[in-house]
């Protein structure tokens, strides 16, 4: 990726720093604004994360709506855990503290917040969307 200064900028998706989460599962208050948004409307934060993790192949609105509808019937974790798995695959992150499915079933809001912070700490801002974030 060319940055306009005669140098090639490294894509946040090919980050060399891999192997460990940059933030903990219960570190929601590291970003109080995102914590409040996720507590009030997790489908928005999830949609933002999904758009970035999918590199624009799914829109924030579509992913958020699917998550909302599935959550309405108690099955949101079945959809959301797959994006945690994709994020871990992008950065070679460990599956901790337990399997992705269980993290999203029992700590869904914390997991969505952690994934948001992880993307942000790696140079992507899910709130801006994929095209303004990269």
Residue 130 binned pLDDT confidence (cut-offs 50, 70, 90): confident
Chain segment 111-120, per-residue pLDDT in tens: 999 999 999 9
What is the average pLDDT score of the chain? 89
- In the chain, the largest separation of any two C-alpha atoms, in whole Å, equals 52
Nearest residue to 116 via CA among 40, 27, 19: 27
For residues 36 and 127, what is the distance between their CA atoms, to the nearest angstrom?
14
Query: For position 78, what pLDDT does the model report?
Result: 96
Sketch the domain layout of the chain as residue ranges.
29-133
Chain segment 22-51, per-residue pLDDT in tens: 999 999 999 999 999 999 999 999 999 999
Question: Which DSSP string do the residues of 60-128 spell out, in sequence order?
Answer: HHHHHHHHHHHHHTT-HHHHHHHHHHHHHHHHT----SS-HHHHHHHSHHHHHHHHHHHHHHTT--GGG
Residue 2 binned pLDDT confidence (cut-offs 50, 70, 90): very low
């Amino acid at each position: 990726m060319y940055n306009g200064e005669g140098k090639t900028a490294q894509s946040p998706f090919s980050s060399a720093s891999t192997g460990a989460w940059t933030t903990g599962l219960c570190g929601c208050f590291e970003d109080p604004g995102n914590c409040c948004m996720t507590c009030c409307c997790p489908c928005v934060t999830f949609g933002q994360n999904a758009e970035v993790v999918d590199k624009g192949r799914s829109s924030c609105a579509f992913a958020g709506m699917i998550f909302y509808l599935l959550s309405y019937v108690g099955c949101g974790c079945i959809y959301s855990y797959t994006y945690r798995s994709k994020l871990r695959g992008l950065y070679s992150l460990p599956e901790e503290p337990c399997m992705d499915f269980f993290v999203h079933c029992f700590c869904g809001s914390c997991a969505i917040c952690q994934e948001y912070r992880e993307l942000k700490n790696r140079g992507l801002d899910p709130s801006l969307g994929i095209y303004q974030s990269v």
